[in-house]
Amino acid sequence: MDFDGLHVVVTGGTGTLGQAVVAALIGAGATCHIPYRSESEAERFPLRDHAQAKLYPNCDLGDESSVDRLFERVPAPWASVHLAGGFAFGPLREMTETTLRRQIETNLVTCALCCRGALRAFARTGKGGRIVNVAARAAIEWRTGANMATYAASKAAVAALTVALAEEVVKEDVLVNAVAPSIMDTPVNRKDMPKADFSAWPKVEEVASTILFLASPANTITRGAIVPVYGKT
Protein backbone atom coordinates (compact mmCIF):
# COMPACT_ATOMS: atom_id res chain seq x y z
CA MET A 1 0.00 0.00 0.00
CA ASP A 2 2.17 2.77 -1.37
CA PHE A 3 0.91 6.32 -0.82
CA ASP A 4 4.17 7.98 -1.83
CA GLY A 5 3.46 11.50 -3.07
CA LEU A 6 -0.31 11.21 -2.53
CA HIS A 7 -2.46 13.66 -0.59
CA VAL A 8 -5.17 12.37 1.76
CA VAL A 9 -7.78 14.32 3.71
CA VAL A 10 -8.50 12.85 7.16
CA THR A 11 -11.38 14.34 9.11
CA GLY A 12 -11.31 13.51 12.79
CA GLY A 13 -7.59 13.02 12.35
CA THR A 14 -6.76 14.42 15.79
CA GLY A 15 -8.87 11.77 17.57
CA THR A 16 -7.73 8.40 18.83
CA LEU A 17 -8.55 6.45 15.67
CA GLY A 18 -7.55 9.43 13.56
CA GLN A 19 -4.07 9.52 15.03
CA ALA A 20 -3.59 5.85 14.15
CA VAL A 21 -4.84 6.43 10.61
CA VAL A 22 -2.66 9.49 10.07
CA ALA A 23 0.41 7.69 11.43
CA ALA A 24 -0.21 4.73 9.12
CA LEU A 25 -0.74 6.97 6.10
CA ILE A 26 2.38 9.00 6.79
CA GLY A 27 4.32 5.78 7.25
CA ALA A 28 3.12 4.73 3.79
CA GLY A 29 4.30 8.00 2.26
CA ALA A 30 1.13 10.11 2.21
CA THR A 31 0.77 13.75 3.07
CA CYS A 32 -2.26 14.09 5.36
CA HIS A 33 -4.54 17.13 5.49
CA ILE A 34 -6.29 17.31 8.85
CA PRO A 35 -9.04 19.82 9.67
CA TYR A 36 -9.78 20.69 13.29
CA ARG A 37 -11.95 23.12 15.26
CA SER A 38 -10.26 23.82 18.59
CA GLU A 39 -6.65 24.63 19.38
CA SER A 40 -6.67 22.03 22.14
CA GLU A 41 -7.11 19.34 19.47
CA ALA A 42 -4.02 20.52 17.64
CA GLU A 43 -2.00 20.82 20.84
CA ARG A 44 -2.72 17.19 21.76
CA PHE A 45 -2.00 15.89 18.26
CA PRO A 46 1.37 14.10 18.42
CA LEU A 47 2.18 14.55 14.71
CA ARG A 48 1.35 18.26 14.54
CA ASP A 49 4.95 19.18 13.66
CA HIS A 50 5.48 16.42 11.10
CA ALA A 51 6.22 17.69 7.60
CA GLN A 52 3.62 15.34 6.10
CA ALA A 53 0.83 16.45 8.46
CA LYS A 54 -0.94 19.63 7.36
CA LEU A 55 -3.39 21.05 9.91
CA TYR A 56 -6.33 23.28 8.99
CA PRO A 57 -7.77 25.29 11.90
CA ASN A 58 -11.32 26.51 12.50
CA CYS A 59 -12.90 24.03 10.10
CA ASP A 60 -16.60 23.35 10.69
CA LEU A 61 -17.41 20.11 8.88
CA GLY A 62 -21.12 20.78 9.28
CA ASP A 63 -20.89 23.98 7.24
CA GLU A 64 -20.74 23.55 3.48
CA SER A 65 -18.71 26.68 2.79
CA SER A 66 -16.13 25.66 5.38
CA VAL A 67 -15.87 22.16 3.85
CA ASP A 68 -15.62 23.58 0.33
CA ARG A 69 -12.75 25.85 1.41
CA LEU A 70 -10.94 22.89 2.94
CA PHE A 71 -11.02 20.80 -0.22
CA GLU A 72 -10.10 23.76 -2.40
CA ARG A 73 -6.90 24.16 -0.38
CA VAL A 74 -5.78 20.53 -0.66
CA PRO A 75 -3.58 19.95 -3.72
CA ALA A 76 -4.86 17.08 -5.88
CA PRO A 77 -6.24 14.80 -3.15
CA TRP A 78 -6.13 11.09 -3.86
CA ALA A 79 -8.34 9.97 -0.97
CA SER A 80 -10.63 11.34 1.69
CA VAL A 81 -11.15 9.49 4.98
CA HIS A 82 -14.07 10.65 7.11
CA LEU A 83 -13.63 9.74 10.77
CA ALA A 84 -15.32 12.77 12.33
CA GLY A 85 -18.56 12.02 14.15
CA GLY A 86 -20.32 11.92 17.48
CA PHE A 87 -21.90 9.45 19.89
CA ALA A 88 -24.97 9.65 22.09
CA PHE A 89 -26.09 7.06 24.65
CA GLY A 90 -29.40 6.77 26.45
CA PRO A 91 -32.96 5.47 26.02
CA LEU A 92 -34.99 7.10 23.30
CA ARG A 93 -37.71 8.16 25.74
CA GLU A 94 -35.19 10.57 27.26
CA MET A 95 -33.93 11.90 23.93
CA THR A 96 -34.16 15.59 23.19
CA GLU A 97 -34.64 17.10 19.77
CA THR A 98 -31.25 18.75 20.21
CA THR A 99 -29.59 15.36 20.65
CA LEU A 100 -31.31 13.95 17.58
CA ARG A 101 -30.32 16.87 15.39
CA ARG A 102 -26.76 16.84 16.71
CA GLN A 103 -26.36 13.15 15.85
CA ILE A 104 -27.62 13.73 12.33
CA GLU A 105 -25.39 16.77 11.96
CA THR A 106 -22.18 15.28 13.35
CA ASN A 107 -22.51 11.91 11.65
CA LEU A 108 -24.54 12.16 8.43
CA VAL A 109 -24.26 15.82 7.42
CA THR A 110 -20.50 16.08 7.95
CA CYS A 111 -19.95 12.84 6.03
CA ALA A 112 -22.14 13.90 3.11
CA LEU A 113 -20.54 17.33 2.84
CA CYS A 114 -17.03 15.88 2.93
CA CYS A 115 -17.94 13.25 0.33
CA ARG A 116 -19.20 16.06 -1.90
CA GLY A 117 -16.05 18.09 -1.33
CA ALA A 118 -13.87 15.09 -2.14
CA LEU A 119 -15.78 14.30 -5.34
CA ARG A 120 -15.43 17.86 -6.58
CA ALA A 121 -11.70 17.79 -5.81
CA PHE A 122 -11.29 14.43 -7.60
CA ALA A 123 -13.07 15.87 -10.64
CA ARG A 124 -10.48 18.65 -10.85
CA THR A 125 -7.66 16.11 -11.14
CA GLY A 126 -9.50 13.65 -13.38
CA LYS A 127 -7.60 10.77 -11.78
CA GLY A 128 -10.34 9.24 -9.66
CA GLY A 129 -9.87 8.63 -5.96
CA ARG A 130 -10.97 6.81 -2.84
CA ILE A 131 -13.45 7.68 -0.10
CA VAL A 132 -13.65 5.84 3.22
CA ASN A 133 -16.42 6.61 5.70
CA VAL A 134 -17.01 5.30 9.21
CA ALA A 135 -20.30 3.64 10.05
CA ALA A 136 -20.70 1.47 13.17
CA ARG A 137 -21.69 -2.04 14.13
CA ALA A 138 -25.07 -0.71 15.24
CA ALA A 139 -25.52 0.77 11.78
CA ILE A 140 -25.66 -2.66 10.16
CA GLU A 141 -26.72 -4.79 13.14
CA TRP A 142 -29.60 -2.69 14.41
CA ARG A 143 -30.38 -4.87 17.44
CA THR A 144 -27.01 -3.89 18.88
CA GLY A 145 -28.18 -0.27 18.94
CA ALA A 146 -30.36 -0.45 22.05
CA ASN A 147 -29.96 2.70 24.16
CA MET A 148 -28.18 4.45 21.31
CA ALA A 149 -30.94 4.56 18.72
CA THR A 150 -30.17 8.04 17.39
CA TYR A 151 -26.51 7.11 16.95
CA ALA A 152 -27.43 3.83 15.22
CA ALA A 153 -29.87 5.61 12.92
CA SER A 154 -27.44 8.36 11.93
CA LYS A 155 -24.66 5.85 11.29
CA ALA A 156 -27.06 3.64 9.31
CA ALA A 157 -27.64 6.69 7.14
CA VAL A 158 -23.86 6.94 6.65
CA ALA A 159 -23.82 3.29 5.56
CA ALA A 160 -26.67 3.85 3.08
CA LEU A 161 -24.99 6.98 1.75
CA THR A 162 -21.77 5.03 1.23
CA VAL A 163 -23.36 2.21 -0.76
CA ALA A 164 -25.54 4.50 -2.88
CA LEU A 165 -22.65 6.87 -3.61
CA ALA A 166 -20.39 3.98 -4.57
CA GLU A 167 -22.79 3.10 -7.37
CA GLU A 168 -23.11 6.73 -8.41
CA VAL A 169 -19.41 7.40 -8.99
CA VAL A 170 -17.83 4.07 -9.88
CA LYS A 171 -17.46 5.04 -13.55
CA GLU A 172 -15.39 8.02 -12.42
CA ASP A 173 -12.82 5.59 -10.92
CA VAL A 174 -13.87 6.65 -7.44
CA LEU A 175 -14.29 3.77 -5.01
CA VAL A 176 -16.39 4.49 -1.92
CA ASN A 177 -16.43 2.21 1.13
CA ALA A 178 -16.89 2.34 4.88
CA VAL A 179 -15.74 0.49 7.95
CA ALA A 180 -18.11 -0.46 10.75
CA PRO A 181 -16.25 -0.72 14.07
CA SER A 182 -17.58 -2.27 17.22
CA ILE A 183 -16.28 -0.91 20.55
CA MET A 184 -12.63 -0.05 19.94
CA ASP A 185 -9.83 -0.35 22.46
CA THR A 186 -9.33 3.28 23.49
CA PRO A 187 -8.49 4.87 26.85
CA VAL A 188 -11.98 6.40 27.06
CA ASN A 189 -13.73 3.09 26.42
CA ARG A 190 -11.54 1.32 28.98
CA LYS A 191 -12.44 3.95 31.54
CA ASP A 192 -16.15 3.73 30.76
CA MET A 193 -16.23 -0.11 30.77
CA PRO A 194 -13.54 -1.20 33.22
CA LYS A 195 -14.88 -4.77 33.54
CA ALA A 196 -14.91 -5.50 29.81
CA ASP A 197 -12.53 -7.90 28.08
CA PHE A 198 -10.23 -5.37 26.44
CA SER A 199 -8.38 -8.08 24.52
CA ALA A 200 -11.52 -8.76 22.45
CA TRP A 201 -11.85 -5.17 21.28
CA PRO A 202 -10.32 -4.19 17.93
CA LYS A 203 -7.24 -2.00 18.30
CA VAL A 204 -7.29 1.36 16.57
CA GLU A 205 -4.16 0.37 14.65
CA GLU A 206 -6.00 -2.69 13.31
CA VAL A 207 -8.97 -0.61 12.19
CA ALA A 208 -6.54 1.87 10.65
CA SER A 209 -4.94 -0.87 8.55
CA THR A 210 -8.30 -1.76 7.03
CA ILE A 211 -8.98 1.90 6.27
CA LEU A 212 -5.52 2.19 4.75
CA PHE A 213 -6.21 -0.59 2.26
CA LEU A 214 -9.61 0.77 1.23
CA ALA A 215 -8.08 4.22 0.65
CA SER A 216 -5.03 2.93 -1.22
CA PRO A 217 -4.25 2.56 -4.92
CA ALA A 218 -3.91 -1.16 -4.13
CA ASN A 219 -7.69 -1.27 -3.77
CA THR A 220 -8.85 -1.51 -7.37
CA ILE A 221 -12.17 -3.37 -7.05
CA THR A 222 -13.72 -3.04 -3.58
CA ARG A 223 -16.59 -0.55 -3.55
CA GLY A 224 -19.90 -0.16 -1.75
CA ALA A 225 -18.65 -2.26 1.15
CA ILE A 226 -19.43 -1.70 4.81
CA VAL A 227 -16.54 -3.66 6.26
CA PRO A 228 -17.04 -5.06 9.79
CA VAL A 229 -14.06 -4.39 12.05
CA TYR A 230 -15.30 -6.08 15.21
CA GLY A 231 -12.23 -7.75 16.65
CA LYS A 232 -13.37 -10.73 18.72
CA THR A 233 -16.51 -9.15 20.10
pLDDT tens digit string along 132-174?
A: 999 999 999 999 999 999 999 999 999 999 999 999 999 999 9
Is the predicted pLDDT of residue 233 greater than 90, yes or no?
Answer: no
pLDDT for the residue 114: 98
Q: In what order do the strands lie in the sheet with 129-134?
A: 53-56, 31-35, 7-11, 77-82, 129-134, 174-181, 226-229
* 175 within 8 A of 112, measured Cβ to Cβ: no
Confidence of residue 19 (pLDDT cuts 50, 70, 90): very high
Q: What is the pLDDT of residue 1?
A: 82
The per-residue pLDDT for range 33-67, each reduced to its tens digit, is 999 999 999 999 999 999 999 999 999 999 999 99
How much of the chain, in percent, has pLDDT values that exceed 70? 100
Pick the CATH number of 7-229 from 3.40.50.720, 3.40.50.10490, 3.30.1360.170, 3.60.15.10: 3.40.50.720
pTM of the model: 0.96
pLDDT at 76: 95
Instruction: Output the CA torsion sign for 198, 208, 189, 97.
Output: negative
pLDDT digits (tens, 9 = 90+) for 84-121: 999 999 999 999 999 999 999 999 999 999 999 999 99
For the chain, the average pLDDT equals 96
